[in-house]
Amino acid sequence: MSEFDGMGALVTGAGSGIGAATARLLAMGGARVGVLDRDADAAKAIAAEVDGIAFVCNVADGDALAAAVSDADAKFGGLAILVNNAGVGDLRPLHLMDDKTFRRLMDVNFTAVFTAMRAAVPLMLGHGRGAIVNVASQSGLGPTRNEAVYSAAKAATIALTKSGALEYGPKIRVNCVAPGFIETPLTALFQSEPETFEPIRIAMPLGRMGQADEVAEAIAFLCSRRSSFMTGQTLVIDGGNSLPQAGTDPTLSGLWKRFSS
């Protein structure tokens, strides 16, 4: 028996990147997967690949998102897993952030997580079980320069995860992952211009970008019985990028080379 046999799962932002990798992994484990994405073609392609159901929805549309959660529950005969993965970024200083972009970043990266959880929790409580995994970011634990609103939204997602864990255990477990630099559409700039990423790569203990599959493995773990005594936790998946202190690590490394030669 596979670990997710017969379980209904809904993954948002599942048309590409971490979401698509998660949908594939859950399906391999026996789950019936709802692939939710605003890109209809992408959602349908991944759904066909995993023998799942496509849900075409912009997570910033709260009513449509809540309806999709309810629809997934009905079609799967119960929703056991919810993965809130959809996200969007923007790189600019705080004082140049316009209201429209601010709302978009908050709506997609935080409000949609709240909306999906609010819709899923009563259903899961009624079924007597559930696992929710929210995808935050390393930036939610330590703000990234020129990503103030994105960082704030991801920090709020981490806080919401902890609140959900407190309020809905023991029936529902709510956990979070905080990826660092992962090869997804959100990091397309670094992939198209490797030299831009090079200073970061040098400072990272594992010396490379992560892969979507590596984050999906952590998400699947948090959805499974293997993590049955974990709730309210945030797993950081960043190749050690949060360990070095900016500026200090390269300097000390250079000094070590000078005095050890």
Question: Which active-site residues does the annotation give?
Answer: 150
Distance of CA 62 to the CA centre of its chain: 18
Angle at 71 between CA 234 and CA 5, to 5 degrees: 60
Cβ(35)–Cβ(23) below 8 Å: yes
At which residue do the structure tokens 């704030």 appear?
152
Q: Is the omega angle on the peptide bond into residue 170 within 30 degrees of 0, that is, cis?
A: yes
The angle formed by the CA atoms of residues 66, 90 and 158, to the nearest 5 degrees, is 55
Nearest to 186 by CA among 102, 89, 60: 89
